[in-house]
A = this chain, B = another copy of it.
Amino acid sequence: MEVRPKRILIADDEPDILEIVSYNLGKEGYETYTAKDGNEAIERAKQLNPDLIILDIMMPKKTGVEVCRILRTQPLFQDTLIVFLTALNDDASHIKGLETGADDYVSKPISPKVLVSRVNALFRRIHKEDGKTLKIGNISIDPVRFIVSIDEKEVMLAKKEFELLFLLGSKPGRVFLRNEILSQVWGTDVIVGDRTIDVHIRKVRQKLGVDCITTVKGVGYKFEI
């Protein structure tokens, strides 16, 4: 399965930092976006639904810790990786950062190499599961062979259909919001109509012949047996 490039949002009030971090991560193949204060970080996070967010601790409007706490209260950002960036090299803020729900912590002055390798390490840790066949009850979803099996019976899905099912199947039971689905399967830059998701959901349901996708009206869809 083709992998969409990871989206990283970087929030810092120093343009130099934004640029150097953005440049180095971009070189690694990440899609980078920036924000220059806490409020903008939250706003852009909601709009972009990034895979990882790098937050400077000391920022105008809202500190990185505040932004982290606010984002973490929302289900949408439960899985988002968060890394703190700070000039304070002391233990206290270090611990505070991690306890707030950050996944890592890098102190300034930043070595681009270190930052990149830590980011890579975080993604590696999360995506150990990548490439593995998902098995939920009698349904298995194989991203390598691009095939879905139901009780040993194999079903072929089109790319988008497969990606959609794979996303939902990756966390059975969890509800995926419509924008989440849009940004994960279609990407943030593409603009598609309102009925597009529904139509694809329908196609998947039809091809599978099993009712394993539940609609949660006003919210989204979830995979459930």
Contacts and interface: CB of A to CB of B under 8 A. Distances in A.
Interface of A: 75, 78-79, 91, 94-95, 98-99, 101-104, 111, 113-114, 117-118, 120-121, 124-125, 128, 131-132, 143-147, 156, 158-159, 173-175, 216-219, 222
A72 B165 CA distance: 21
Nearest to A128: B78
Point out which of A118, A120, A216 has the most chain B C-beta atoms below 10 A from its C-beta: A216
Q: How many copies does the complex hold?
A: 2
- 3 tightest CB-CB pairs across the interface, nearest first? A98-B121, A159-B218, A95-B117
A113 B65 CA distance: 19
Q: Is the interface of A mostly helix, strand, loop or mixed?
A: mixed
A131 to B, nearest CB: 6
A144 to B, nearest CB: 5
A87 B101 CA distance: 27
